[in-house]
Structure formats: C-alpha cells, structure tokens
Structure 1
Amino acid sequence: MKTALITGSTSGIGKATAELLAKQGYRLILCGRRTEVLEQLKTELSQLTETFSLRFDQRNFNEVETAIQSLPENWKNIDVLINNAGNAHGLDCLCDGSIEDWDAMMDGNVKGLLYVSKMIIPGMRERKAGHIVNISSVAARQTYANGVVYCASKKAVDVISEGMRLELTEFGIKVTNIQPGAVETDFSKIRFKGDEERAKTVYAGYDALKAEDIADAIAYCVNAPKHVTISDLTIYPSAQSEPRTIHRSM
C-alpha cells in the first residue's frame, strides 16, 4: 500500500484528491493549517484507509520540519508527494499591490512548496522511488494584468518542477506539473478577501472545472505504469481557450 502526503488537503483540489486516493487504497498523510477541519477530514477518510494528520503552515520552515520529522517510523516512507497548498490574494496592479499579499503568495506558492519538498525528497532518493506532483496554474503560461505576482509564483512552480525532473529522474523519481485553468473552489473567495458575490462572477455563465476533475487527473498520473511519466498537464474547462479568455453564455 502506497503512502501519499497531500498539502492543503482540507479543501478544494487537495480534499478532492485525498477522497479519491483514499478510495483507491492509498494511505494518506493529510496536511493543513485548520486543526478542526483537518481532524474532521481524517475521521471521515479513516473509514476508507489509514490516515495521519499533520498541522503546519508551510510558509514557516521550522513548522514544516518539526511536523514532518514527527511522523512515526511506519509513516516516514512517502511514495507520493502532492504539493497542492497555495493561494491567490488580491487582483491589483503592481503599483497598488499589497506587500502582505505578495509575501503570502510567494511564501505559500513557492517557498512552501520548496520547504515541504526539501523534507521529502531525501527519503525518495534513498529508496530510488517516488512521485512528486506540483500544482501550478495556467497563469504560469500567460501573465495577466493585475495578477503579476500570482502569475510569477506559478511560473516559479513550473521552473521548480522542471528542475526537480532534471535532478531526480536518475533516482527513479517521477515529477508531474499540473496547470489547472478555472476551477470552482474557494480560490476566488480567498483572492477577493471573502467577497462571495464578487467570487461568484468568476464562475458565472459557463461550466468551470471542479476540484474532482483535477483530482481525477492527479490520480491518473500517480497510477500510470512505472515506465510512464506525465511531466506536464494543462487542464482547461471547455469554455476557456487561454488563461484570460472564457466564453460565457451570458
């Protein structure tokens, strides 16, 4: 039975992926910041598979290191790492952007991914096996106005994924970079500081992707035959032709 560690597992893509992999028989290490939600998810998925939970803020390396080092011996061999946790904050031009928002995006989307990966990769290298899935975005493919820092953070995920592949393939470690288009989760609600009405407009007039769609793609990648690596995968809803263009019915 394989063990998968999923960051940002308490909502959206992370939660959908955890639910799907649990049904497929993976042991799960569920990671997040919200203790109550994390424990509730652990209780639910424990009906399907073995689960373990780690609470940490991946923007803080000390928390990441302490949490992962605290894993019991029988949970330390991680076969699949899904770097899902990330965020978008604000939709302002650079001149009006919030330093706090910039730090949150760069620390969460880039440094956090690096921190978690740094703790997991040595074990994979030693065992000469493993699979790392990084969740990027179509924002990495085309920068858009008022989202420059978010786009830059996701472009960094693309570059990190490529670098990981160059460094880790010889050790039998697969690396997959997934770029989702518009996915209807809490993403826009967080970006707009809890403004639910504004967030709804992002997904109005077309069928956006669901978290389960990305979970399906992740499961396909991690379950591919040993000789197959899905290196990069871009997923749009049918109504989206490129990062900035969505064809709406209204």
Structure 2
Amino acid sequence: MIALNTQTILITGASSGIGAACAKAFARENAKLILAARRLEKLEEKAWELNKLYGVETHLLQLDVCDRSSVESAINNLPPEWSEIDILINNAGLSRGLDKLHEGDFQDWEEMIDTNIKGLLYLTRYVVPGMVARGHGHVINIGSIAGHQTYPGGNVYCGTKAAVKAITEGLKQDLLGTPVRVTSVDPGMVETEFSEVRFHGDTERAKKVYEGVTPLTADDVADVIFFCATRPNHVNINEIILMPVDQASATLVNRKL
C-alpha cells in the first residue's frame, strides 16, 4: 500500500458529501490536504475538525471550478510547499432538475455542464502537467452510474457523466508512457446533499429518493477512493462502479415500503 503521509492531495467539492468524506479518510493517514469548494465557511469548519481529530495540515481554496481563470490562479499561486500535487480528486459536481429534455431549464443545463465537465477539465489541465513533469501522480474522477445508463429526466446530467467517463478514458490513453494513474469511481445512489441540490433545496422531495432503501454513504464511496489511491504504483484501477445492494441499475431499486 502506498504511504500517504508524504502525499499532497487536492479535493474539489470538499465542503460536504463525498469530498468531505474523502478529506477525512486521507486525513487519518496524515496526508497534506488542499481542500477546495465555493463555501469557505464550510471548508474552515472541516479543516478545524480534521486538525482536531488528526492534527493534519490543510490548505483551503475558496474556488468555483467553473471559473477557469480562478482555477488557473489558484493552482499557479499555491505556496511552494503545497504546489506539488500528488493526487487530484475531481469530486465537484451536481445535478439540477428532472425535467424532460424538451422542457428543461437552460440555467440547470449550464450549471451541470460547467461544473461536471468544464470544471473537471480545468483542474485536470492545470494540475496534470506537474504530475507528468515530476513522474508521479494520480487523477481520480468521481463519475456516476448515470454515465453508464440513462434514465427518464436524467438527460443532461447523464450526458455530463458520460462525458466524465469518456474524458477519464481519454486521459488514461494520453498518459500512456507516463507513471501517472487515472481512475473513475462511479457510484449509484449515495445519500448526500445531491438530491437536495437537484431539487433546488426541496428537502421533502429529496428524502423521497431514498425512502425504503439503504443507500451508499459518502464514507462508503470515500473508502473505495482511498483503496484506489493506495494500490502499488504499478497498479491502475481504471473504473469502479459501486451501488447499494438495494439497487441493480440506474432505474431498478428495491424499496421496502
């Protein structure tokens, strides 16, 4: 298993959900953590918690991954002791709405495309050259079962996650001949803020998504990401699809109501 106490790990969307769970999982191994998210107050709370629990070093970036110039500035202006990123976890992502395509909200589309595709591309473009130059690194993209199977109302979100799948595969091919590893971790139902964000803060509607089901937790997904990151250097886990036992596909769910 690769030791993480000498590694610097950049996690986007680190203020909550899977990103926050990843921060905790890697903090336990005393990795240096660069935590990025739009909500600085949430990041500060997370950093304080991790320092109290594990004494871990953190560097916080208030960052909107959709803003290319902000991403460029954030990466290029990291303090020297934080500038050599060993693992990039492209976690920032979201879904908006469940409208039929011909009734969809343009703003929802823009937000999903800008965050899930362009934001991931921006971070990858600014971080990976350093990995190649140093001959070491690992990019872990958080995809989704939605990138493998579409479902009614999922149209654009599924499209963005299919793009993540294709981008991850393309990146792996482009990095052939370098020691840089590339992984996609693609979960099914995970109970985080995901559905609340999808339904624009409608908590009651969000709760119904998980009724009668034992979904994955953010910690479950972080555990799989941790596993991928700690394999020996010659091992690359290309792709993992994980779902709760109560889910068999994007649309087949066993609800005990």
TM-score by length of 1: 0.98
2:100 aligned with 1:93, yes or no?
yes
Give, as a single letter, the amino acid of the residue that structure 2 aligns with 1:22. Answer: A
- 1:55 is aligned to 62
- List aligned pairs for 1:30-41, cutoff 5 A: 30-41=35-46
- Could you give the per-residue CA deviations for residues 119-159 of structure 1, whole angstroms, max 9, x where no partner exists? 10110010111000000000011111211000000000000
SS at match of 1:179: strand
Q: Aligned partners of 1:169 and 1:9: how far apart in 2? A: 29
- 2:179 is aligned to 172
Q: CA deviation at 1:92?
A: 0.2
- List aligned pairs for 1:45-194, cutoff 5 A: 45-47=50-52, 48=54, 49-194=56-201
Give, as a single letter, the amino acid of the residue that structure 1 aligns with 2:15. Answer: T
Q: Aligned partners of 1:130 and 1:168: how far apart in 2? A: 11
Q: Aligned partners of 2:246 and 2:195: how far apart in 1? A: 18
Q: Aligned partners of 2:124 and 2:234: how far apart in 1? A: 23
- 1:42 is aligned to 47
- Could you give the per-residue CA deviations for residues 15-67 of structure 1, whole angstroms, max 9, x where no partner exists? 00000100012110000001111112122222321110111100010111111
Q: Which moved more, 1:125-134 or 1:38-47?
A: 38-47
Paired residue for 2:17, among 12, 15, 28? 12
Give, as a single letter, the amino acid of the residue that structure 2 aligns with 1:141. Answer: H
Q: Aligned partners of 2:67 and 2:233: how far apart in 1? A: 34
- 2:252 is aligned to 245
- 1:226 is aligned to 233
The RMSD of aligned alpha carbons is 0.7
Identical-residue share of aligned pairs (%): 46
Kindly report structure 1 stretches of 4+ aligned residues shifted beyond 3 Å.
none
Q: Aligned partners of 1:135 and 1:169: how far apart in 2? A: 21
2:45 aligned with 1:24, yes or no?
no
Q: Aligned partners of 1:136 and 1:171: how far apart in 2? A: 23
Structure 2 unaligned blocks of 5 or more: 1-5
* 8 Å CA contact retained: 1:54, 1:68: no
SS at match of 1:120: helix
Give, as a single letter, the amino acid of the residue that structure 2 aligns with 1:57. Answer: D
* 8 Å CA contact retained: 1:132, 1:174: yes
Q: CA deviation at 1:95?
A: 1.1
2:212 aligned with 1:205, yes or no?
yes
